[in-house]
Structure 1
């Protein structure tokens, strides 16, 4: 009996040694970057929902590279100082994804808000436009 348990334990350890590490689970909103978006641009909407006046909200988004070549975020432009984007400018390999952090500062805002954030991607002909929505109470 003991011998059988030792053999089973060794078999389990041997099987576990050959496994690859698990990929990072991408929880949350995923924005797909495709060859079409790199060529013609694209638009997506990000909703913060209801925010209290003066609240600073942060959303973590995944940029998934579904294009045929590496993609990198190089810069962004915004129509309001109330939105910011934190990103890593390292290239994202095809099939990989990287998390970015979008912040909305509701100080001085009231009611339904629609802000525009244009993300410039290396090698893209047009930016990825994010429409940022929030309802500030």
Structure 2
């Protein structure tokens, strides 16, 4: 009897466990990635609003994998040093979301800015992110 109760308790705790990314619901901006979007090289725009010169904006984005295979962010290319991305190197399976932190440094920038950031996903996907900001 005690063993049965102990097994039930262990099963409940193990069932509640799992990968943190699977149980965490993304909050904020979610960009959905599909097979056709990655093959064609889709794009989206992140609008950061207005900044004063010298301010740094940080925005957390989520890439939700709705493709047929696991994805990994393997790198990115940017048009200037004012934009950067921070991301994990672990794969995220279909149905999971992956957090990416976008940073825009307005030092040296003036006026309306529209900067491209090209992301590469393994095995063979690409996605262009445009960063739009007005620097006063």
Taking structure 1 as the reference length, the TM-score comes to 0.82
1:131 aligns with 2:113: no
The CA deviation at 1:25 is: 2.3
Runs of 4+ in 1 over 4 A off after TM superposition: none
Give the structure 2 partner of residue 24 of structure 1: 24
Question: Which structure: larger Rg?
Answer: 1
Give the structure 1 partner of residue 91 of structure 2: 91
Q: How many aligned positions are there?
A: 121
Give the structure 1 partner of residue 64 of structure 2: 64
Give the structure 1 partner of residue 35 of structure 2: 35
The CA deviation at 1:36 is: 0.8
The CA deviation at 1:20 is: 3.6
In structure 2, stretches of 5+ residues that fail to align are: 1-8
The CA deviation at 1:60 is: 0.3
In structure 1, stretches of 5+ residues that fail to align are: 1-13
In structure 2, how many angstroms separate the alpha carbons of the residues matched to 1:28 and 1:84? 19
Taking structure 2 as the reference length, the TM-score comes to 0.83
In structure 2, how many angstroms separate the alpha carbons of the residues matched to 1:124 and 1:116? 19
